[in-house]
Amino acid sequence: MSELGKILTVQEADKPLLIEGCLYCIEQCDQLLKLVSQDVFNKAAQGNSSVGAHIRHILDRFHCFFAGLREADIDYDARKRDKSIETSLQAATFALASIARRIEKIDLDASHGKTITVRETVHHLGSSLAIESTVERELMGLVTHSTHHLAIIVLITKSFGYELGNDFGKAPSTIVYERG
């Protein structure tokens, strides 16, 4: 197999890393919810969104993923935007636990090599696009998307005087690089 073929094929040993990467992001969200107050969870910082809005958005992407998984047709525009998750620490904690359980139950062997359709609007002047992907690629996308929002959450919480761990909201490749 060529080098490119090796890169494009998820190796058997790497599959658990996709699950662990998703769970790590959810665990960071959960750690955050145990740290911040309800007031800070709801408060927007310096014109930005609130911590709650970012947690809700992270969970929205996971919900869309799971909603489309069975039919192999994921629509990331079909977000529920549940205000209760955005405004209530208790609702967000419950939703995080639910998503963590669903992640733990993913059977990557059952979906290995199968093509799925992913839909999303990529420009405000056009309709959504549908492209082919794989479950593994979408899990990788969920990790990078979540990490991006966790990094924004770090900035918001710092503006309220909270200090999070050095690796919180940091890309896995950056953590590896800094430790190397």
What are 124-143's pLDDT values in tens digits?
Answer: 998 999 999 999 999 999 99
The string of pLDDT tens digits covering residues 90-128 is: 999 999 999 999 999 998 888 877 899 999 999 999 899
Q: How big, in percent rounded to 5, are the helix, strand and coil portions of the chain? A: 60, 10, 30
Tokens of 129: 């696009």
pLDDT under 50 in the chain at which residues? 1-8, 10
Tokens of 140: 């990788």
Identify whether the C-beta of residue 76 lies closer than 8 Å to the C-beta of residue 13. Answer: no
What pLDDT sits at residue 111?
Answer: 84
Q: Hey, which CATH number is domain 13-179, 1.10.1070.20, 3.90.245.10, 3.40.50.300, 1.20.120.450?
A: 1.20.120.450
Q: Which amino acid is at 133?
A: S
CA distance 63 to 98: 10
pTM of the predicted protein model: 0.88
Write down the H helix ranges in 43-134: 51-69, 83-87, 89-104, 108-111
3-state secondary structure of 2: coil
Tokens of 102: 């669903």
What pLDDT sits at residue 14?
Answer: 58
CA distance 173 to 175: 5
Closest CA to 59 of 106, 91, 107: 91
**Number of residues assigned to the chain:** 180
CA distance 10 to 155: 33
- Give every strand in the sheet of 73-75, ordered side by side: 73-75, 116-120, 129-133
CA distance 3 to 28: 34
